[in-house]
Amino acid sequence: MGYEKSEKAFREAFRYIPGGVDSPVRAFGSVGGTPPFIERGEGAYLYDIDGNRYIDYVQSWGPLIFGHADRDIEEAVVRTAAKGLSFGAPTQLETELAKEIVELFPSIDKVRFVNSGTEAVMSAIRLARGYTGRNDIVKFTGCYHGHSDSLLVQAGSGAATFGNPSSPGVPADLSKHTLLAKYNDIETVRRCFEDSTEGIACVIIEPIAGNMGLVPADREFLGALRRLCDEYGALLIFDEVMSGFRASLLGAQGIVDTRADIVTLGKVIGGGMPVGAFGGRSDIMAMLSPEGPVYQAGTLSGNPVAMAAGLASVKKLKADPSIYVTLAGRAKRLMEGFKAAADAEEIALVTEVRGSMFGFFFSDKSVRNFEEALENDTERFAKFHSAMLRRGIYLACSSFETGFISTAIDDEMIEESIRAAYEAMREIND
């Protein structure tokens, strides 16, 4: 496999775009090497500009559950685009997709569309603060909710629950309102409620965390979280931008019985086009402008072409929920194969699967929170990622991400990927 054209393209991109990419993770910073520049996608495959072909387990970080250039989604996009790209006026497509989501999610009475997961979460946080009249929020170390200021916060020193900015440009005056708790540890959440001086507006969590690697929250923990929020009158926000329509048709809420007050969605509901959404109980959503006083807006929110792509994607999933059984079966088979390949070389590996999502850590113990995830062997992950890429297997370029199975990936591709894993494990063990 040659990468000359991608190397040249990366240098060229670097001249005009910071880091040569429009989103940092794409630069391959944590795995090294040059990120392949993609020419096209077709079904399960990505093709780079050097003519290399890859089985794609990233699928644009989750949206492409039907693989690349799905005929139904592409046809919906072309048909809708032919009638105009955007109007800045209401269309029935928005209502149609909203109806699909409301009918699916018991915890969503009304939903508002935006253009990204970041926007969905930023708006949900403002809505929770407006609804409760409180300023403080709680998030969990290791959960990522997009790059809005209140969420770019890391744990303070020691046991301090108050957050510090995790990026320059985020005012400490703002990040002090974000308290940090430990994933799967209800006592650290209780401490945040006790430490808060201004009252907690909401607790936001990825109920199946996909941004510290794949780390699901324990069912009992989510139940305790719900009870704690009710005890203090705080809202519970499930950030299902990644897990929604991926862990099951209803994301985490299709697996656990805990219900959120607000749910954020993205990725799959855009079918590959820029869409985010946040929805919840009627009384909460009624606070949103123009019905209520909490302001939120967007030029391209509910864009008809994006709505058409999302609608085609969601309708296909609703029409055949049994695909989740197939997707989960293939995810399980892939992770069993990776585990067997690691065992053959006496390399420590732990794996996780939730529906069409999979993850693995080069570690000898299970991972239940970010602090434990940080102990995994990231150097070995980088070598494995590179060895797999050279064998035509395109995995997420960080051990703190999640892999995905699409309907375009068949059993033979899974077996091919497992064979590549045996070779890669042998190579990194030399």
Active site residues: 144, 239, 267
DSSP 8-state code for residue 398: S
Q: How far is the CB of 246 from ligand KE4 (least distance, A)?
A: 10
Q: Are 251 and 208 in contact (CB under 8 A)?
A: yes
Among 65, 110, 128, 145, smallest CA distance to 326 is for: 65
Q: Which is nearer to ligand KE4, 196 or 369 (CB)?
A: 369
- 219 CB-contact burial (10 Å; exposed 0-12 / middle 13-18 / buried 19+): middle
SS3 content of the chain, % helix, strand, coil (to 5): 40, 20, 40
The Cα 386–Cα 381 span in angstroms is 9
Selected binder of ligand KE4 within 145, 176, 226, 368 (CB under 6 A): 145
Judged by CB under 6 A, the residue of 31, 121, 125, 331 near ligand KE4 is 121
Kind of pairing between the strands at 200-205 and 262-266: unpaired
Q: Which of 94, 239, 352, 372 binds ligand KE4 (CB under 6 A)?
A: 239
Is 163 or 276 the residue whose CB approaches ligand KE4 more closely? 276
Residue 197 within binding range of ligand KE4, rule CB under 6 A: no
Q: Is 146 in the site for ligand KE4 (CB under 6 A)?
A: yes
Residues 4-63 interacting with ligand KE4 (rule: CB under 6 A): 23, 25, 61
368 touches ligand KE4 (CB under 6 A): no
Span near ligand KE4 by CB under 6 A; candidates 238-246, 293-301, 316-324, 378-386: 238-246
Member of 35, 142, 266, 337 binding ligand KE4 (CB under 6 A): 266
CA distance 156 to 211: 20
Direct distance between the N- and C-terminal alpha carbons of the chain, in angstroms, rounded to an integer: 21
Nearer to ligand KE4, 211 or 258 (CB): 211
Point out which span in 31-39, 194-202, 228-236, 239-247 binds ligand KE4 (CB under 6 A).
239-247
Closer residue to ligand KE4 in complex, CB, 181/341: 181
Considering only residues 117, 163, 213, 279, which one is a binding residue for ligand KE4 as defined by CB under 6 A? Answer: 117
Q: CB-wise, 23 or 282, nearer to ligand KE4?
A: 23
Nearest approach in angstroms of CB 32 to ligand KE4 is 18
Residue by residue, DSSP assigns 147-188 as S-GGGSEE--STT--B-EESSTTS-HHHHTTEEEE-TT-HHH
C-beta nearest to ligand KE4: residue: 117
Q: How far is the CB of 28 from ligand KE4 (least distance, A)?
A: 12
- Interface residue with ligand KE4 among 6, 59, 150, 211 (CB under 6 A) is 211
Alpha-carbon distance of 113 to 276, in angstroms, equals 6
Q: Are 144 and 211 in contact (CB under 8 A)?
A: yes
From 59, 116, 356, 369, residue interacting with ligand KE4 (rule: CB under 6 A): 116
Which residues have a Cβ under 8 Å from the Cβ of 243 and sit 6 or more positions away?
206, 207, 208, 210, 251, 252, 354, 357
Stretch that binds ligand KE4, among 48-56, 236-244, 298-306, 317-325 (CB under 6 A): 236-244
- d(CA 28, CA 151) in angstroms, rounded, equals 23
Q: Could you say whether residue 210 binds ligand KE4 (CB under 6 A)?
A: yes
Contact 256, 219 (CB under 8 A): yes
Quick one: 263 or 388, whose CB is closer to ligand KE4? 263
Q: Which of residues 379-408 bind ligand KE4 (CB under 6 A)?
A: 401
State the nearest-atom distance from the C-beta of 102 to ligand KE4, in Å.
Answer: 21
Among 76, 242, 357, 405, binds ligand KE4 (CB under 6 A): 242
Whether 400 contacts 211, CB under 8 Å:
yes
Find the binder of ligand KE4 among 136, 206, 352, 372 (CB under 6 A).
206
Q: How far is CA 301 from CA 98, 114, 254, 378, in A?
A: 13, 5, 27, 38
The answer to whether the beta carbons of residues 142 and 211 sit under 8 Å apart is yes
Residue 92: exposure state from Cβ atoms within 10 A (0-12, 13-18, ≥19): exposed
Closest CA to 89 of 378, 366, 301, 348: 301
Count of residues touching ligand KE4 (by CB under 6 A):
19
Q: Name residues contacting ligand KE4, limited to 296-335 (CB under 6 A).
A: none
Nearer to ligand KE4, 204 or 382 (CB): 204
Amino acid at 72: D
Give the nearer residue to ligand KE4 in terms of CB position, either 237 or 428.
237
Q: Give the interface with ligand KE4 as residue ranges (CB under 6 A).
A: 23, 25, 61, 116-118, 121, 144-146, 206, 210-211, 239, 241-242, 266, 276, 401
